[in-house]
Amino acid sequence: MAKRESIKTGTASLRLISLALALMLEVYFYSQDNSITRRVAAVIQFEAVPSNRLIIEPENNNEGIPANIDITGPRTLVDHIASREQKISIPFPAKAPPVFSVDVSYEGLNLPPRVSIVSARPARVLVRTVELVEKRVPVVVPLTGSSPKNIKLSTPVVSPESIIIKGPSYEVQKISQVELESIDITDIKENFKTDLKVKPLGEYTIPEVNIISVSLEAKIVEDISENTPEIVKETSSVVKSSKKVVAEKNSSK
């Protein structure tokens, strides 16, 4: 009986010691001595941008607008947050004018308890947008070089023959056709087919498709001076002789 009581007493003591250690660790974890301040890399991204609007400033906004956030708190938590890039989402304002400014809220980071923001930049972002328009234009493919003498190539067949381009009106209105990468026809001696990329259209204008199929039909053309059958050559000589006789008779008259 005394032995059982001794075991119970020892177990209770161990529990008390474990609880005390846990409390001490928690106190240290959240103590001022264990707190640090660190800068966290973040990017600002716009949500729900209308399909007919394009943000041209800030530049490279599709990749996110760089932001810097200084946070403070327990070292372990701060290190964990700083180990990955944070993202701040900003809803695109309804009926926004072409140029507008928007306040950046960093509350959406959802930081854990005891971690707080010391400072954050930028606090406000200037946004410039343009309205996008669409236009259908024909597709052309430049040919370079000269085909072999005995080969006749057809006009290039492109598929699709025309595509829709989309971009700011000041760029789109200057584009009358879409040009592909060129084809060197110097060594093409048989039917030819390939896929080509669309050349850049402008700073912001893009095509609905970027790869176009192109084909050329090649035909062999015989050289009559070298490949005409002998019977044809003999007939040609007879005709020439007959013409000569007729000419001599006329002159004698």
Domain CATH code at residue 140: 2.170.120.40
- Residue-level pLDDT at 149: 86
Please indicate, yes or no, whether residues 98 and 147 belong to a single structural domain of this protein.
Answer: no
Please indicate, yes or no, whether residues 40 and 116 belong to a single structural domain of this protein.
Answer: yes
Whether 192 is covered by a domain: the verdict is yes
C-alpha dihedral, 108 to 110 to 116 to 119, nearest 10°: -20
- Residue-level pLDDT at 245: 40
101 CB-contact burial (10 Å; exposed 0-12 / middle 13-18 / buried 19+)? exposed
Q: Pick the last residue of a domain from 98, 122, 146.
A: 122
Whether 253 is covered by a domain: the verdict is no
Question: Is the omega angle on the peptide bond into residue 58 within 30 degrees of 0, that is, cis?
Answer: yes
Whether 38 is covered by a domain: the verdict is yes
How many other β-carbons are positioned within 10 Å of the β-carbon of residue 212? 21
- Residue-level pLDDT at 59: 86
Residues of the chain with pLDDT under 50: 28-29, 224, 226-247, 249-250, 253
Whether 114 is covered by a domain: the verdict is yes
Please indicate, yes or no, whether residues 187 and 168 belong to a single structural domain of this protein.
Answer: yes
Whether 171 is covered by a domain: the verdict is yes
Please indicate, yes or no, whether residues 141 and 114 belong to a single structural domain of this protein.
Answer: no
How many other β-carbons are positioned within 10 Å of the β-carbon of residue 192? 17
Please list, in sequence order, all residues whose beta carbon lies within 8 angstroms of the beta carbon of residue 46, skipping any fewer than 6 positions away.
55, 61, 89, 90, 91, 92, 127
What secondary structure, in 3-state letters, does the chain show? CHHHHHHHHHHHHHHHHHHHHHHHHHHHHCCHHHEEEEEEEEEEEEECCCCCEEEEECCCHHHCEEEEEEEEEEHHHHHHHHCCCEEEEEECCCCCCCEEEEECCCHHHCCCCCCEEEEEECCEEEEEEEEEEEEEEEEECCEECCCCCCEEECCCEEECCEEEEEEEHHHHCCCCCEEECCEECCCCCCCEEEEEEECCCCCCCEECCCEEEEEECEEECCCHHHHCCHHHHHHHHHHHHHHHHHHHHHHHC
The total number of structural domains that make up the chain: 2
Please indicate, yes or no, whether residues 44 and 118 belong to a single structural domain of this protein.
Answer: yes
Please indicate, yes or no, whether residues 118 and 141 belong to a single structural domain of this protein.
Answer: no
- Residue-level pLDDT at 222: 75
- Residue-level pLDDT at 232: 37
- Residue-level pLDDT at 28: 47
Q: Answer for the pair 109, 77: CB distance below 8 angstroms, yes or no.
A: no
* Structural domain boundaries enclosing 70: 34-122
| pTM (2 d.p.) | 0.61
Q: How far is CA 182 from CA 46, 179, 185, 247, in A?
A: 38, 9, 9, 55
- Residue-level pLDDT at 200: 95
Whether 232 is covered by a domain: the verdict is no
Please indicate, yes or no, whether residues 158 and 99 belong to a single structural domain of this protein.
Answer: no
Q: Answer for the pair 125, 104: CB distance below 8 angstroms, yes or no.
A: yes
Please indicate, yes or no, whether residues 94 and 145 belong to a single structural domain of this protein.
Answer: no
